[in-house]
Chain A
Amino acid sequence: MNRKLLSLALLGSTILGGAAAAEVTLTIESWRNDDLILWQDKIIPAFEAANPDIKVKFTPSAPAEYNAVLNSKLDAGSAGDLITCRPFDASLALYDAGHLTDLSDLDGMSNFSGVAKSAWQTDDATASFCMPMASVIHGFIYNKDAFAELGLEVPETEAEFFAALETIKADGNYIPMAMGTNDQWEAATMGYNNIGPNYWKGEEGRLALIAGDQKLTDPQWVAPYETLAKWGEYLGDGYEAQTYPDSQNIFTLGRAAIYPAGSWEITGFNAQVDFAMGAFKPPVMNAGDTCYISDHTDIALGLNAASPNAEAAKTFLNWMGTSEFASIYANALPGFFSLSNHEVAMEDPLAQEFVSWRGECESTIRSTYQVLSRGTPNLENETWGASVAAIKGSKSAADLGMELQDGLASWYAPQK
């Protein structure tokens, strides 16, 4: 009896499915489980309202399994039409293997800057294979109440930054800066790659390093380590064993005044703090210098080369280049900023603060992500260790530069 019902139901669904086939259904592969509601309630209805003959399904898998699941689906030919792209080499490998389509000619692509597209391009930048979605911006989040209490102004220059840290330390009520070195990546991501772009002049230095015109032993690449070496005394007691969640908790509990941050913290922090928060960008050397920020490309969407619905998928990708998509996405996930050139009005004040820097400063991405972390030793991983060593003072900045340069030169031809 049950089986009969089931087969009837199945039969019914096939007929209905057949009827719906006049419309195209697009399936999106993603690792963003967390965004399922956002897609179902906001993004997809907005798109379907504008394109009634295209239906969209968002089918995420677990983040840790995404790469493996996606690869096997692509090999078996059962992957969805649209593929969420990880930045750089993971997606480049998919493109090289013929799984992703070249999207360079898509109209929507014109809404993105070169930096925004760089994470999903071939090394010579001739082909772009994913439509950029969002980036995260680095800077410092601070406790506004603590700053008011101590009569501190938001620091603009490095001298002011260290003066502020000194004041907080002298007062003794707050830990000047909440960061630990136990997990290592914060030191590199929120330390070195946060303040560094001001030294190596953002894209200019990053591209010169890739081209082999600059070396990691050059002053602009070593100096950030010298600055990090001064951070050590302003981190809390026992920062050597302080983990990432420890740092987050110390800051949200109001025990620390400054938190070297990435904008992805905004949602979590908003839910936890009971004081006013503000943000300031990485301090520059002298007042009035051009500022550079790390506006790191994080997520994009590509087209499965084997998709039977390529035309519909391209419609969707073009729509992703519009300001409508940018505004929905950025407001639902404050801290993940649209990569497009549109002006996006955001409601979250902290997110507004972060994104306002784009207008004042030059954007760049983390220096180690493109090309330079392809070999062994892996420059990104080595940078984690080097940043920690700099903060702890266990090695001099010059030595760290030499070590990193030796490691990079051992496999990367332009640096030999």
Chain B
Amino acid sequence: MKKSGIKWHVVVFLAPALLVYTAIMIFPLFNTLRLALYTETDQVRHFVGLDNFRTLFGNAHWSGQFWNALGNNMWFFFIHMIVQHPIGIALAAILSHPRLRFAALYRTAIFVPTILSFVIVGFAWKLILSPIWGITPDMLKAVGLGWLYAPYLGKEEYALTTLALISVWQFVGIPMMLIYAALLSIPEEVLEAGEVDGITGFSAFWKIKLPLILPSIGIISILTFVGNFNAFDLIYTTQGALAGPAYSTDILGTFMYRTFFGFQLQLGDPHMGSAIASGMFGIILIGVCIYLFGIQTRLRRYQF
């Protein structure tokens, strides 16, 4: 019997997913990149090559906003890395402790904010922190820390960090769950073998568990990176499209939105907006590549 060269069933099974993915992901992505090379004058669109990028990086007004947004984005990501990861790991370590009671309750409670909408989280925290109706000033006063209170979301020096921490509060459940799963998958024998060698308690965590969950932490970091550099919703719901005060919470997402769709009297400019979106794509691509080729390949994996 002659075998057909093409495995048709593979094509048939792949086709729907591939078509949908192409239509809603690949095509828009390349169309955005293409749009960035055009501009519109007097209602006629024409090709301008890299002019939009020249404006974006060469014109002091545009580049100032771009670097400001990128810097804020870096800080946003940095806060996630230094706050979300340690807390996530600590929570996972505590939850995986065999003698902890009500573990399922804690796990659920900590994970719930993750499934809430940004809008709810944004408005809830805005109210909690509000100087007028919020409970924060009174709570701090009750424990004698009233001097700590400031209208955080309205102060240039605190607003971005506050928002980053709100975002951490919302998403800490994800690293916790992933690391919790990784911790559960470490076989007892490995830990017992360590115990025989005298490695127990904290040193067991540092010397055995942590190296074994590093690949998970790597994945979480890259997910956080992509999520943070695409972030938009939280800033938009709490601070609006102008990302106040004084653009101190402006990240690439809000900058792109403002440019692409326009704001108040400013008419939208899809072409400059696409140029910024292409910039965001490039930054995320570079970040992911650094991780894939620079870090992931060096992580040691253990098979049990």
Question: Known: A97-B43, A373-B266. Contact between A250 and B154, CB under 8 A?
Answer: no
Question: Known: A97-B43, A368-B265, A385-B247. Contact between A407 and B151, CB under 8 A?
Answer: no
Q: Closest approach, in angstroms, between the C-beta of A25 and any C-beta of chain B?
A: 31
Task: Report the Cα distance A181→B245, complex, angstroms.
Answer: 8
A246 and B265 contact, CB distance less than 8 A: no
Question: Known: A97-B43, A385-B246. Contact between A89 and B154, CB under 8 A?
Answer: no
Cβ contact of A240, chosen from B133, B154, B264, cutoff 8 A: B154
Task: Report the Cα distance A196→B43, complex, angstroms.
Answer: 36
Point out the residues of chain B lying under 8 angstroms from A407, CB to CB: 61
> With an 8 A cutoff between CB atoms, is A236 at the interface?
yes
Mark contacts of A240-274 with chain B using CB atoms, 8 A cut-off: 1 yes-contact digit, 0 otherwise: 11110010001000000000000000000000000
Interface secondary structure of A, over-half rule: loop
Closest residue of A by beta carbon distance from B61: A377
Closest residue of A by beta carbon distance from B239: A182
Question: Known: A183-B240, A238-B154, A378-B265. Contact between A410 and B246, CB under 8 A?
Answer: no
A89 and B267 contact, CB distance less than 8 A: yes
Question: Known: A182-B153, A241-B153, A241-B154. Contact between A388 and B130, CB under 8 A?
Answer: no
A394 and B246 contact, CB distance less than 8 A: yes
> With an 8 A cutoff between CB atoms, is A369 at the interface?
yes
Point out the residues of chain A lying under 8 angstroms from B106, CB to CB: none
Question: Known: A238-B132, A240-B151, A240-B154. Contact between A388 and B263, CB under 8 A?
Answer: no
Mark contacts of A76-101 with chain B using CB atoms, 8 A cut-off: 1 yes-contact digit, 0 otherwise: 00000000000011000000010000
Q: Closest approach, in angstroms, between the C-beta of B244 and any C-beta of chain A?
A: 5
Point out the residues of chain A lying under 8 angstroms from B245, CB to CB: 181-182, 184, 240, 388, 392
> With an 8 A cutoff between CB atoms, is B251 at the interface?
no
Task: Report the Cα distance A381→B152, complex, angstroms.
Answer: 23
Task: Report the Cα distance A373→B264, complex, angstroms.
Answer: 10
Task: Report the Cα distance A182→B246, complex, angstroms.
Answer: 10
Cβ contact of B129, chosen from A88, A183, A241, A388, cutoff 8 A: A241
B242 and A182 contact, CB distance less than 8 A: no
Mark contacts of B131-165 with chain A using CB atoms, 8 A cut-off: 1 yes-contact digit, 0 otherwise: 11100010000000000001111111000000000
Task: Report the Cα distance A385→B263, complex, angstroms.
Answer: 14
> With an 8 A cutoff between CB atoms, is A384 at the interface?
yes
Task: Report the Cα distance A185→B266, complex, angstroms.
Answer: 14
> With an 8 A cutoff between CB atoms, is A389 at the interface?
yes
Q: Closest approach, in angstroms, between the C-beta of B257 and any C-beta of chain A?
A: 13
A385 and B129 contact, CB distance less than 8 A: no
A380 and B265 contact, CB distance less than 8 A: yes
Q: Closest approach, in angstroms, between the C-beta of B166 and any C-beta of chain A?
A: 13
Task: Report the Cα distance A98→B140, complex, angstroms.
Answer: 61
B265 and A381 contact, CB distance less than 8 A: yes
Cβ contact of A381, chosen from B130, B156, B242, cutoff 8 A: B242
> With an 8 A cutoff between CB atoms, is A47 at the interface?
no
Q: Closest approach, in angstroms, between the C-beta of B140 and any C-beta of chain A?
A: 12
Task: Report the Cα distance A53→B131, complex, angstroms.
Answer: 59
A246 and B266 contact, CB distance less than 8 A: no
Question: Known: A181-B245, A241-B129, A384-B242. Contact between A369 and B265, CB under 8 A?
Answer: yes
Q: Closest approach, in angstroms, between the C-beta of A251 and any C-beta of chain B?
A: 12
Across the A-B interface, how many residue pairs have beta carbons closer than 8 Å? 92
Mark contacts of B240-272 with chain A using CB atoms, 8 A cut-off: 1 yes-contact digit, 0 otherwise: 101011110000000000000001111101000
> With an 8 A cutoff between CB atoms, is A399 at the interface?
no
Closest residue of B by beta carbon distance from A247: B132
> With an 8 A cutoff between CB atoms, is A376 at the interface?
yes
Within 8 A of B (CB), among A391-405: 392, 394
Task: Report the Cα distance A83→B264, complex, angstroms.
Answer: 20
Task: Report the Cα distance A354→B24, complex, angstroms.
Answer: 53
Mark contacts of B69-95 with chain A using CB atoms, 8 A cut-off: 1 yes-contact digit, 0 otherwise: 000000000000000000000000000
> With an 8 A cutoff between CB atoms, is A39 at the interface?
no
Q: Closest approach, in angstroms, between the C-beta of A210 and any C-beta of chain B?
A: 14
Point out the residues of chain A lying under 8 angstroms from B129, CB to CB: 241
Point out the residues of chain A lying under 8 angstroms from B131, CB to CB: 236-242
Mark contacts of A206-249 with chain B using CB atoms, 8 A cut-off: 1 yes-contact digit, 0 otherwise: 00000000000000000000000000000011111111001000
Point out the residues of chain B lying under 8 angstroms from A378, CB to CB: 263-266
Question: Known: A376-B266, A380-B266, A381-B265. Contact between A241 and B246, CB under 8 A?
Answer: no
Task: Report the Cα distance A274→B61, complex, angstroms.
Answer: 48
Task: Report the Cα distance A393→B239, complex, angstroms.
Answer: 20
B246 and A381 contact, CB distance less than 8 A: no
Point out the residues of chain A lying under 8 angstroms from B150, CB to CB: 238
Closest residue of A by beta carbon distance from B258: A381
Task: Report the Cα distance A380→B263, complex, angstroms.
Answer: 10
Closest residue of B by beta carbon distance from A175: B132
Mark contacts of B36-62 with chain A using CB atoms, 8 A cut-off: 1 yes-contact digit, 0 otherwise: 000000010000000000000000011
Mark contacts of A115-136 with chain B using CB atoms, 8 A cut-off: 1 yes-contact digit, 0 otherwise: 0000000000000000000000
Point out the residues of chain B lying under 8 angstroms from A182, CB to CB: 153-154, 239, 244-245
Task: Report the Cα distance A378→B126, complex, angstroms.
Answer: 28
Task: Report the Cα distance A278→B265, complex, angstroms.
Answer: 31
Question: Known: A237-B131, A376-B61, A407-B61. Contact between A381 and B264, CB under 8 A?
Answer: yes
Q: Closest approach, in angstroms, between the C-beta of B60 and any C-beta of chain A?
A: 8
Closest residue of B by beta carbon distance from A184: B244
Task: Report the Cα distance A377→B263, complex, angstroms.
Answer: 12
Point out the residues of chain B lying under 8 angstroms from A239, CB to CB: 131, 151, 154
Task: Report the Cα distance A416→B137, complex, angstroms.
Answer: 49
Point out the residues of chain B lying under 8 angstroms from A184, CB to CB: 240, 242, 244-245
A381 and B266 contact, CB distance less than 8 A: yes
A and B contact pairs by CB, cutoff 8 A, 10 listed: A88-B265, A89-B267, A182-B153, A182-B154, A182-B245, A240-B153, A241-B130, A241-B151, A378-B263, A378-B264
Contacts A236-B132, A388-B246 supplied; 7 other A-B pairs, CB < 8 Å: A184-B240, A185-B264, A238-B132, A242-B131, A381-B263, A385-B244, A392-B245
* Contact surface of B with A, Cβ cutoff 8 Å: 43, 61-62, 126, 129-133, 137, 150-156, 239-240, 242, 244-247, 263-267, 269
Nearest first, the 10 A-B pairs at minimum CB distance are A238-B131, A240-B154, A241-B154, A241-B151, A238-B151, A373-B265, A378-B266, A380-B265, A240-B151, A241-B153
